[in-house]
A and B are shown apart, each in its own frame.
Chain A
């Protein structure tokens, strides 16, 4: 009986170790490609005041697989002429030091685009809310590639189905 408990404990410990290792490996894998951070702070009263949404880039990649084919193909088609320029721009921005790239101030509202810690950061400050979006530059190329490589040759049945969608 006593040796049975020992075996059970050893098995549990083994499973726990395996689970922890898998969890750590998955976390490292998920976050290794960087994280897109979105923060929204509403200044007016009522409703949700603050949103902080960190999305790992690998989750965005995964999300593209679940995006309806029609939307993905439309995005791929709209992005097609800009893809080479965007990819080169993202790669070139990684080379330059952290800096303010664009700032527009109008009617006490501000939009700032900066390069900060290997990310492209967009800060919007309006009377109603502040928005902070940080996008890892090294992820832009791979995401563009993933969208560009979307298989967009639809079968007639798929095309009819996509057109029937509301």
Chain B
């Protein structure tokens, strides 16, 4: 009798754990704020699960089944996957620093994230910051050489917590792309 109750309790706890551990909806947010004469604000809130379901069904010119065909043949000469594999096995550090005058571009790896920071001061000043989980970048490059696998990247992104992915700041435009569990922009 005790065994039967224990079995029921066990099944109940297992079911409850399964429900509680089910991943909540992750949302991709894009916010663009442009000031000045052509002031413009754009906000996009879309659940990652929605994108995952819809992307494979879209077949436009360069966009087929969640993959983008790159037109730039220059990329064929660079083994991006090889570089990324090499980077992922290395310890956290700054790999590339390019400084030209007052402009600086930095590429680093920290806590499983690929960090790219660009600070352009000459001409139109612009700051770009990207912080992407390395498995997401790997998923993005998992298609053929001249393709970006957006669908795989979105799927991989769902495994990560709240994260600011890209911010771009220039004189009159601010762009933010981030992922979190809320369906409202901050």
Known A-B contacts A85-B57, A97-B183, A106-B39; the reply to A92 vs B44 at CB < 8 A is no
CB proximity to A under 8 Å, residues B59-81: 59-60
In the complex, whether B50 has a CB less than 8 A from a CB of chain A is yes
Closest to B57 in A: A85
Pick from B41, B53, B54, B184: contact of A99, CB under 8 Å: B184
| Cβ-defined contact, A100 with B49, below 8 A | no
Pick from A85, A88, A89, A99: contact of B45, CB under 8 Å: A99
Determine the main DSSP class of A at the interface with B.
mixed
Pick from A88, A96, A101, A104: contact of B41, CB under 8 Å: A104
| Cβ-defined contact, B49 with A103, below 8 A | no
| Cβ-defined contact, A104 with B45, below 8 A | no
- Residues in B whose Cβ lies below 8 Å from that of A89: 50, 53-54
Interface size on B, residues (CB 8 A): 22
In the complex, whether B58 has a CB less than 8 A from a CB of chain A is yes
Pick from A85, A96, A103, A107: contact of B58, CB under 8 Å: A85
In the complex, whether B43 has a CB less than 8 A from a CB of chain A is yes
Interface size on A, residues (CB 8 A): 19
Closest to B27 in A: A99
Having A81-B59, A92-B49, A106-B40, one finds 5 other A-B pairs with CB under 8 Å, namely: A85-B54, A97-B183, A101-B45, A102-B44, A103-B42
19 A–B contacts, CB within 8 A, in A order: A81-B59, A81-B60, A84-B57, A88-B57, A89-B53, A89-B54, A92-B47, A96-B25, A96-B183, A100-B43, A100-B45, A101-B45, A102-B42, A104-B40, A104-B42, A105-B40, A106-B40, A106-B41, A107-B39
Interface residues, chain B, CB within 8 Å of chain A?
25, 38-47, 49-50, 53-54, 57-60, 183-185
Interface residues, chain A, CB within 8 Å of chain B?
81-82, 84-85, 88-89, 92-93, 96-97, 99-107
